[in-house]
Amino acid sequence: MARDFEDHCWKDIVDEEITEIYQPYRREVRVGRNPAVLAIDLYNKAYQGGNRPVREVNRQYEGSCGENAWKALEPTRALLTAARKAGLPVFYTTRHADTDGVRSTHRRMGAEAESLYHIKEELAPMPGELVVYKERASGFFGTPLIAHLRKAGADSLIIFGESTSGCVRASTVDAYSYGFHNVVVEECTYDRSMLSHKVNLFDLHHKYADVMHVDEVIEHLNGLARGRNAA
């Protein structure tokens, strides 16, 4: 079931020249040995306006990822279930509505309700799972996430959420810098712009992470869960 290293959503925009230039990055992808789950910014705001095209929902709900968010909902739910059965520690990031003027990006935003930044109910943390509040794109910057991962004994991460070109990318680059082996789960990661989504996954896959398909990751986690029950 091993798919080709480049068999991903970016196939239709990456030409043969680029593929040749990036040849030296080819390697076998894998989930790390003691992974933790890092679920990035799965908050209500990303789903606002419902399962409709991004462009439409953004006219009313700025920052919503529309149908891209909704499409990822079921795979993400399944992935979280498999991760918990396998006993993996799960970490979430989100933010507070008001961060005293420090902003994650240059986007203009008005005053907002705190509930916009609550994790979407279907994907909500279980008791004992940690939610890290951040003020910048990376889940590591200005947060104690690194200390919690260390305490959990994690040597690798399974990362997903939104947006691919914002918080997922920034968090994954930092995780790589800290020395974690990273998997980014393609079907559970999304953005408002499909172009940025594809190119950022391409960049992450070649430089900082193993981008894997959700079925591959769930199969691996099911294996861990079986081993755990056998023991």
Burial (CB count within 10 angstroms: exposed 0-12, middle 13-18, buried 19+), residue 145: buried
Q: Provide the binding-site residues for a second copy, judged by CB under 8 A.
A: 13-15, 17-18, 20-22, 24-25, 27, 54-55, 58, 62, 99-102, 105-109, 130, 134-138, 141-151, 153, 155, 165-166, 169-170, 173-174, 176-180, 192-193, 195-196, 199-200, 202-203, 206-208
CA distance 200 to 207: 10
DSSP helix/strand/coil, 224: helix
CB of residue 229 to a second copy, shortest distance in Å: 25
**Of 2 and 59, CB closest to a second copy:** 59
Integer-rounded Cα Rg, in Å, for the chain is: 17
Q: Are 214 and 74 in contact (CB under 8 A)?
A: no
CB of residue 148 to a second copy, shortest distance in Å: 6
CB of residue 226 to a second copy, shortest distance in Å: 26
CB of residue 123 to a second copy, shortest distance in Å: 19
* Residue in this structure with the two tokens 């894998």, named with its chain if needed: 30
**Of 27 and 230, CB closest to a second copy:** 27
CB of residue 21 to a second copy, shortest distance in Å: 5
* Structure-token pair, residue 123: 């994907």
**Of 33 and 121, CB closest to a second copy:** 33
CA distance 61 to 80: 27
**Of 76 and 156, CB closest to a second copy:** 156
What lies within 8 Å, CB to CB, of 207 at 6+ separation is 25, 176
- Residue 214, CA distances (Å) to 110, 158, 174, 217 in order: 35, 11, 22, 5
**Of 82 and 181, CB closest to a second copy:** 181
- Cα three-residue angle 148-41-3, rounded to 5 degrees: 90
CB of residue 134 to a second copy, shortest distance in Å: 8
Q: Are 160 and 168 in contact (CB under 8 A)?
A: yes
CB of residue 152 to a second copy, shortest distance in Å: 9
**Of 75 and 138, CB closest to a second copy:** 138
**Of 207 and 226, CB closest to a second copy:** 207
CA distance 52 to 202: 26
Q: What secondary structure letter does DSSP report for 119?
A: B
